[in-house]
Structure 1
């Protein structure tokens, strides 16, 4: 593990806890944790940052998934099928991620952050409204969810990762017409699979900082379980302002480091 200042470790622990909370409520905890790791470990190769992020995220996501499964009504069979496709896709994405440099990764993350920020601004009801009625979920829609939601988003998660939980919630709501709470709970099960597939590949390639990941995972787990409980109790509309503020702040910081710093 690289020599990391104590202040940086404390800030990364706080970022991990906040990321776990955000990820459990509306998805997208990686939008906070991955940029935080890039900023805190500027000399670390991007592949090691990505691998460490996955090792942390899978713990928090698993805790949130268990918390949801105990209370929310989740279509487990469908979630597992999508999850298996996502696992395969994430392993493929992680395989290609090994050759990505931080200089390439930062602009991509900024674009994803801005896209999510625009969506949050343009859809103020996201995360707070109940499900809308839609056409019945056919076999074709289920297959579409498995291939596109599982395989496609899984590949993205292995390759880059930030925003995967949010993208899963949106896709599951659009394709399978799940309400947002059920979509969020289902997304956690799928996200465990994508994180697991990507982590397996990163571990095989030796690009995980295990000691740092173990420490951050404790905070990520606590944040994830707290966020899941809050989502089940209140719904996720209350986190929109926090998520938007975090996203815009990170975009500004990454842009400064990329082109000014």
Structure 2
């Protein structure tokens, strides 16, 4: 453990990991809590925080993915090609993470989140039941494209990836919220693994912190996944709207700070 990190900072990091694991398991977006907590740890560079965040996230997503797999049975025809594409894109995204400023993405993501949040609120029936828009090759092609796009984003930045996956699976492919969240966990596991495939050999991970936050994330993920399965798509939809709202507020704050004169 880095010597400059005190007990209070560790306690706050554990709480952030628990919260992030729960949020990620239900609908994604736990990085909105976990990554900022790591960025506040003294002595960590932004790249180390990003890499260490992936350790915590992959421990949580592996737990929630397994829970969903046993209890929901996610559609592997979608999850498998999407996860493979996302893994490869995340490796490439991580390779350029230190070269692309996060501020370049913020305004675009903000507009997308506002649009998605408004669209979800305006359509109460959205995501209640699964009604796939395509079958066969067109469905696989769409899943591959979405996996590439979101996987690259997760490699470069990360926060909100789980929510973006749910957005894509519900809004583009036509899944209900609960099966979309189940598939998203498998794909998110792949994106975390892809990013770590780059970060670990380059020594960017601070392992003691990663294991601490990862253990907390794992516990939160187990609780969140079981709660989501028990309460169904309506519950996941409510949490989704709240998380997207939080993402919009955070991105709006970042954008205002960036252009404030």
Sort the TM-score into its range (normalised by shorter chain). Answer: 0.7 to 0.9
Q: Distance in 1 between matches of 2:52 and 2:73?
A: 32
Q: What does residue 92 of structure 1 align with? A: 92
Contact 2:127 2:170 in 1 (8 A): no
CA deviation profile, 1:173-216 (whole Å, cap 9, x unmatched): 23432211111101111111110010110001110010000011
Spell out the pairing of 1:26-175 with structure 2 (5 A cutoff).
Answer: 26-38=27-39, 40-41=40-41, 43-99=43-99, 104-105=101-102, 108=105, 112=109, 115-116=112-113, 119-120=116-117, 122-124=119-121, 129-131=127-129, 133-146=131-144, 148-175=145-172
Question: What displacement does 1:26 show?
Answer: 1.1
The residue aligned with 1:20 is 21
1:12 deviates by 1.4
Pairwise CA distance, 1:7? 1.5
Q: Residue by residue, what CA displacement relative to the aligned partner does 1:56-106 show, whole Å, maximum 9, x if unpaired?
A: 100000000000000103112431221111111000000111345xxx436
- Backbone CA RMSD of aligned residues: 2.8
Q: CA deviation at 1:113?
A: 6.0
SS at match of 1:74: coil
Choose from 184, 187, 196 the match for 1:199. Answer: 196
Question: Judging changes above 3 Å, is the alpha-carbon distance between structure 1 residues 113 and 43 closer, same or farther for their aligned structure 2 residues?
Answer: farther
Distance (whole Å) between structure 2 residues aligned to residue 169 and residue 29 of structure 1: 13
1:183 aligns with 2:180: yes
Aligned residue pairs, count: 255
1:85/1:245 CA distance change after superposition, 3 Å: closer
Unaligned 5+ segments in structure 2 are none
The gaps in structure 1 that reach 5 residues or longer are none
- When the two structures are superposed, what TM-score results if normalisation uses the length of structure 1? 0.85
User: Residues 5, 119 of structure 1: CA spacing in aligned structure 2 closer, same or farther, 3 A cutoff?
Assistant: farther
Contact 1:32 1:246 in 2 (8 A): no
Question: What SS is found at the alignment partner of 2:204?
Answer: coil
SS of 1:204's equivalent in the other structure is coil
Note the C-alpha offset of 1:49.
0.9
- Paired residues of 1:35 and 1:250 also in contact (CA < 8 A): no
CA–CA separation in structure 1 for the residues paired with 2:256 and 2:209: 26
Taking the TM superposition and a 5 Å limit, the aligned residue runs for 1:241-252 are 243=243, 246-247=246-247, 250=250
CA distance in 2, matches of 1:13, 1:109: 27
Deviations 1:122-164 (A, max 9, x none): 5236798412535442312311211x11111111111111111
Provide the residue aligned with 2:7 in structure 1. 6
Cα distance change of structure 1 residues 81 and 136 upon mapping to structure 2, 3 Å threshold: closer
Show the counterpart of 2:212: 215
Deviation at 1:110, TM superposition (A): 7.8
* Separation in structure 2 between the aligned mates of residue 248 and residue 133 of structure 1, nearest angstrom: 28
